[in-house]
Amino acid sequence: MAKQRVRFTFSSDLVKEPIIYRLGRDFDVVTNIRRADVRTDVGWVVLELEGSEEDIQQGLAWVSDTGVRVDPIAGDVIEG
């Protein structure tokens, strides 16, 4: 199992869409929300993803294609 930490940034038209739910359901990726700030006009979420490397990469490509900005994160965002 591979693990990856990412930050998703949502624009106002995507804030209400179930992007994280669909990532987990459609791509067999376990999502663990580490931090988030979601408002009506913008939002961001820091996620830890777990699954096969291929599933994670395909899922992230889909998320990016929806218009969500995807940025990789190094290190543990909670512990340091």
**For the domain that residue 54 is a member of, what is the CATH number?**
3.30.70.260
Is 79 domain-assigned? no
Per-position b or e across 17-52, b if 16+ CB within 10 A of its CB: eebbeebbeebebebeebeeeeeeeebbbbbbbebe
Is 80 domain-assigned? no
Give the pLDDT score at 40: 85
Is 64 domain-assigned? yes
Is 78 domain-assigned? no
Closest CA to 63 of 16, 37, 34, 27: 27
The whole domain housing 23 covers 2-73
Is 67 domain-assigned? yes
Give the pLDDT score at 18: 95
Give the pLDDT score at 75: 60
Is 62 domain-assigned? yes
**pTM for this predicted structure:** 0.88
Is 28 domain-assigned? yes
pLDDT digits 0-9 by tens, 3-62: 999 999 999 999 989 999 999 999 999 999 999 999 988 999 999 999 999 999 999 999
The number of folded domains in the chain is: 1
In this predicted model, which residue has the larger pLDDT, 35 or 78? 35
